[in-house]
Amino acid sequence: MYPAIATNLKRGKGGMYIAAWDGATPPAENDMGVKVGNCESITYGPEDVQTSEKYSSTQNNTPLLLKQTDRAGWRLVAQTDEHLKDNLLLFFGATDTELTQSAVNQQVVTLSDVIVGRSYLTGFYGLSQVEVYKGSTVLTANTDYKLYADRGVIEILSGGAVVDGDDLDVDFDVSAKTYNRLAVGQLINRNVKVTYIADDQNTDGVGAKDIIVIPKMAVALEGEYGLVSDDFAAMTLAFSALDDSDNYPGRGLGWLIRGAV
């Protein structure tokens, strides 16, 4: 038997980049997009394998004569645990908008027909100088209501001066802020370009890194998203390779570059 060569053994590490398509227009060839972030694992495997089987028509029990693969696709599965905006956009099928809040002093929001024990959004974030009124009476924080200033939430407490059906006025100041807002939805045919740059731990520094580029992949969430968990919440993104020979003729579904870095 020939001896094993240690530098050929692979323990994969590396990073993934994603560049989104703009409709039917692919990203520029040198555009890697944005980093996915920390990935617990990235795996490559077959998908949608179709085979044809031929059985004997002249023998009892119809033995299998031939099994042939007619078509096989492949995919990448990335389990990432950095909850970046771009990852959330992919995982939740969301679109990206901004929520802009202007600076306002003594903004007044009326909460009509409140129910004791319930919580209410003011529609603003980062409240300061908050006063809550029932008519002309100033209510007491942590007795009549509880304030969650950063989220702009007022919770009506039981045992205080507020009863079901009251109307309350909330007076507060807010500073100018801009928030990323993800409009969660179901988007069809979200295509991306994926670039993976390996940083293998098997090498002596010569040809240490590989590059895999897949110019067109359909992306979708896989599994569940842990909103509350004892573990670090992970997002699993599955990428199915698509044919893009029109934009990248002669390169198949992607290309692997070894020892280029």
* Poorest-pLDDT segment among 38-42, 108-112, 223-227: 223-227
Q: What is the pLDDT of residue 261?
A: 39
Q: What is the pLDDT of residue 190?
A: 83
For residue 16, give the 3-state DSSP assignment: strand
Neighbouring residues of 238: CB distance < 8 A, sequence distance ≥ 6: 75, 76, 77, 219, 220, 221, 222
Distance CA 156, CA 163 (A): 9
Q: What is the pLDDT of residue 111?
A: 97
- Residue 17 has φ and ψ, to the nearest 5°, of -125, 145
* Stretch 77-95: mean pLDDT: 88
Average pLDDT of the chain is 85
Query: Does residue 97 or residue 261 have the better pLDDT?
Result: 97
Neighbouring residues of 147: CB distance < 8 A, sequence distance ≥ 6: 127, 130, 141, 153, 154, 155
Indicate whether 176 pLDDT > 70.
yes
Please report the domains of the chain, with CATH numbers, ordered by start residue.
Answer: 6-54+65-97+185-258 (2.30.110), 103-175 (no CATH)
Indicate whether 152 pLDDT > 90.
yes
Instruction: Show the beta-strand stretches assigned E in the chain.
Output: 14-20, 34-35, 39-55, 64-80, 95-101, 104-111, 119-121, 128-134, 137-138, 145-148, 153-156, 168-174, 177-183, 191-198, 210-221, 235-241, 255-258
pLDDT band for 210, please (50, 70, 90 cuts): confident
Q: What is the pLDDT of residue 260?
A: 43
* Poorest-pLDDT segment among 39-53, 100-114, 147-161, 222-236: 39-53
